[in-house]
Amino acid sequence: MEEDRELEEQFIDRLAERIKRMGLVAPAIFFLEAHKPLSFIGGQVLYFSRPFLGVLFGFQNISLAAKILSTPGGVEKLLKKLEE
């Protein structure tokens, strides 16, 4: 359980750093805030499409993204990292 939480934190850190390097912090924050109520559905779509997207992006990355979107507060963690 602790290992899963640590993997999630590392994934959020990597994702936030990549968004910052690309210079997309403001659009990402706007998009996440606007679609926060739909994050659970987005997570379920990622779980469903994992066999297809996993080949392109890595199965563990898709699973972590789906878990973050599906859990309450997951999007908030990403937003906090982006706002730092």
pLDDT in tens, 13-31: 999 999 999 999 999 999 9
What span, in angstroms and rounded, lies between the C-alpha atoms of 57 and 54? 5
Say what the pTM is.
0.85
Residue 68 CA to residue 84 CA, distance in Å, equals 19
Mean pLDDT of 63-79: 92
DSSP string of 66-82? Answer: HHHHHSTTHHHHHHHHH
Residue 39 has pLDDT above 90, yes or no: yes
Q: State the amino acid at position 27 in one-letter form.
A: P
- Where along the chain do its domains lie? 2-83
